[in-house]
Structure 1
Amino acid sequence: MPTPTEIRLDRAERRLEVAFDDGSAFSLPAEYLRVESPSAEVQGHGPGQKTLVSGKRAVAIVAVEPVGNYAVRLVFDDRHDTGLYTWETLHQLGREYEARWAEYLAAIEAQGLSRDLRGRAAGRAG
């Protein structure tokens, strides 16, 4: 399993930059990491229980907290902080970003949801 050689929070761009010892590197948007959180709140407690999270276009990561030698806890400005992003999870989210993001955008559109919070100016998804 690849392990990170660098984890850096780019607050201005709202991205988590992760480089791994296998040579791969990913720039993961905070919104993507929030809606794909490995927490039970988002993923549920079993297959088919994943919650579709919307309204997170402007979410930011406020802290990256190490958890042992195997994960980080991301603290988001919407107070979500229960997901542990293991090295394997971060690597998988990086590898599968394009497909997962396209699935997410299609799902919120199909449900008539928005990436924006209610009451804020809505932009086109993309």
Structure 2
Amino acid sequence: MGVRVLCLRHAESENVVAQVAGALPLAELTPRGRVQAAEAAELLLGEGVTRIYASTAVRARQTAEIIARGLGLREVVALRGLVEFGVGRFEGTADPDGPGAYLRGAAVLGRGRAVGGSGGGR
């Protein structure tokens, strides 16, 4: 039998609400984000999820832990390689050009090249 991989983005976090760009690994979930994560767990019931992996970013771990509890799983495996890439000078700013830096970085990743930055992911 094959393996099925389900991918979810973290729930709403403080940096998203503040429109601050970058990896920002210490940004936490908002109260709304916690509700979203619990709703995601409900949607995943019956899907046969046996293991949950998350990046080491706080918001990703919080999302994964809420989902794991909702599914009755004991552990979330944190993987450093899942951390998003940084956006250089836009890191931690609300500069309107920040989203473009993400798109350019994603395009480079799509061509199989590593992207540097404070996020550390590839």
Of the two, which has the highest radius of gyration?
Answer: 2
**Interval of TM-score (by shorter of Structure 1 and Structure 2):** under 0.3
- If the length of structure 1 is used for normalisation, what is the TM-score? 0.25
RCO higher in structure (CA 8 A, sep ≥6): 2
Whose helix proportion is higher, 1 or 2? 2
Whose strand proportion is higher, 1 or 2? 1
